[in-house]
Amino acid sequence: MNATVNPEMLTLAREVRGMTQTQLAQESGIRQTKISRYEGDLAKVDEEDLRYIAEALGFPEEFFFQSGQRFGAESTEVFHRRRRSVSARDIRRIDGLVNLYRISCDRLLRAFQQVRALTVPSLSVDDFDTVDDIAYAVRSFWGIPSGPIKNLIAQLEQASCLVFSVDFQIDKIDEVVQWIPPSPPIILVNSSAPADRTRLSLAHALGHLVMHRNELPYKEMEHEANRFAAAFLMPEHDIIDELKPVTIQHMLELKQYWKVSMQALIYRAKELEVISERRFTSLFQQLSRFGYRKSEPFPIDHEKPRLVSDLVDKHRLELGYTDEELAQLLRVNIVDFYKWYRTGHKVVDFQEKKMANRQKPGTKPKRPGEYIERGPRGGKVPRPRIVTIEPGDSPLPPTQKPGRTWERKGPPKP
């Protein structure tokens, strides 16, 4: 552990929780100006303040002492597939999570030398006639046979990409990708998206990794990544004869085989000049009329990432780590460990867990007990008031400051 708190980790933890500095100040009882100075590395973090911050953010104190750096949307190593209307706070929250995965997974990788069969090539758009040609070059480089890719996540993991399926809690971001050597590429996809959209997002992320690493942003980047994704999943020489006739019924049949959406197939038909612009518009009007723009029939199965869960299992089975020890290794609490690294376990969300025993002043107590004053979102506050609620007592008394809540600690003391 380093001797001093890393201010980057203070900001990272706050952004992962989706909090502003003002909200953290309310949660922790520490002035916002003080938090700003801590994050700006303008003041040494007081030990007591760190305890309050760690409690409010739900991270062990060790998290804040680790080395590491945040990279965000302004970086040339981070790319998103998102709608323009997404908020800056949501972007920072998702970027925070991909940074957290990169830093923590470096710890998982230290114990095992991961020699993968493939690598992600770096290819310049200027060296090829079309973006489609770049997509075909990557398929050839990876030895992908003609036709649809059966499992795209497995293909990416063979090239050392760490893929995470995460609930972004919004539908305006489909994917974020980051590659900061010597760490491997990290790809986060929105688990709430349909599987066919997720495959397109993964191919879109790969396009950025192949074509745009260390490139300053330019206008055509997103178009190039989208074109790469379509060509990578639906190569012209494999699909062009299968597209005809371009009807809703035929697209529905092709969807199951190519594992892409009906909309993606129609777009590809237009790109390859199989249909006219007028026919393209007519088909999308039909999709809208049937309600298929929002929810297509006969969804395909989701692919599941394996590489990170295999690394976790290796630590458990070969090195004898318990889940609690792995959480300590990764500098996260046990609830977040299950949520972020051991998918499939039913866990309580960090905020849900804190909310379970909390009530607002003036409300009827759910049950008798000893109650302690907490921040608006459940964090510790300096010199909290503690009250005992007996059977029949109602309502809960006022807190010392507006906006605070009461948390039940346990049964009334005898």
Do 243 and 365 reside in the same domain of the chain?
Answer: no
Supply 319's token pair.
Answer: 């090195």
For the beta sheet containing 186-190, the strands, ordered from the edge strand earlier in sequence to the opposite edge, are: 78-82, 173-178, 186-190, 162-166
User: Of 290, 313, 332, at which residue does a domain stop?
Assistant: 290
Rounded distance between C-alpha atoms, residue 174 and residue 191, angstroms: 9
What pLDDT is stored for residue 129 in this prediction? 96
User: Of 274, 290, 306, at which residue does a domain stop?
Assistant: 290
What pLDDT is stored for residue 356 in this prediction? 60
- Residue 210 in any domain: the answer is yes
- Residue 207 in any domain: the answer is yes
Question: pLDDT digits over 142-185, tens only?
Answer: 999 999 999 999 999 999 999 999 888 888 888 999 998 888 99
Do 64 and 168 reside in the same domain of the chain?
Answer: no
User: Of 270, 290, 310, at which residue does a domain stop?
Assistant: 290
Which of 107, 4, 23, 105 has its CA nearest to residue 61?
4
What pLDDT is stored for residue 346 in this prediction? 42
Do 385 and 278 reside in the same domain of the chain?
Answer: no
User: Which 8-state DSSP code applies to residue 60?
Assistant: -
Compute CA distances 190 → 156, 169, 196, whole Å.
16, 8, 12
What pLDDT is stored for residue 71 in this prediction? 84
Rounded distance between C-alpha atoms, residue 157 and residue 119, angstroms: 10
What pLDDT is stored for residue 78 in this prediction? 63
What pLDDT is stored for residue 345 in this prediction? 45
**What residues in the chain have per-residue pLDDT under 70?**
1-2, 73-78, 80-84, 113-117, 343-357, 377-378, 414
Do 62 and 143 reside in the same domain of the chain?
Answer: no
Do 12 and 139 reside in the same domain of the chain?
Answer: no
Q: How many domains does the chain have?
A: 3
Do 57 and 114 reside in the same domain of the chain?
Answer: no
- Residue 81 in any domain: the answer is no
Do 115 and 64 reside in the same domain of the chain?
Answer: no
What pLDDT is stored for residue 350 in this prediction? 47
Q: Which domain does 211 fall in, by range?
A: 110-290
Do 118 and 255 reside in the same domain of the chain?
Answer: yes
Do 217 and 273 reside in the same domain of the chain?
Answer: yes
Supply 409's token pair.
Answer: 């600690």
- Residue 329 in any domain: the answer is no
Check: pTM over 0.75? Answer yes or no: yes
Strands 186-190 and 369-374: unpaired
Supply 106's token pair.
Answer: 């470096």
CATH label of the domain that carries residue 37: 1.10.260.40
| DSSP-derived secondary structure for 284-334 | HHHHHHHTTTT--SSPPPPP---HHHHHHHHHHHTS---HHHHHHHHTS-H
- Residue 346 in any domain: the answer is no
Do 240 and 376 reside in the same domain of the chain?
Answer: no
Residues 6+ apart with CB under 8 A from 140: none
- Residue 300 in any domain: the answer is no
Residues 197/174, Cβ–Cβ less than 8 Å: yes
What pLDDT is stored for residue 74 in this prediction? 52
**Radius of gyration of the CA atoms of the chain, in A:** 25
Do 220 and 132 reside in the same domain of the chain?
Answer: yes
- Residue 7 in any domain: the answer is yes
- Residue 209 in any domain: the answer is yes
Do 157 and 58 reside in the same domain of the chain?
Answer: no
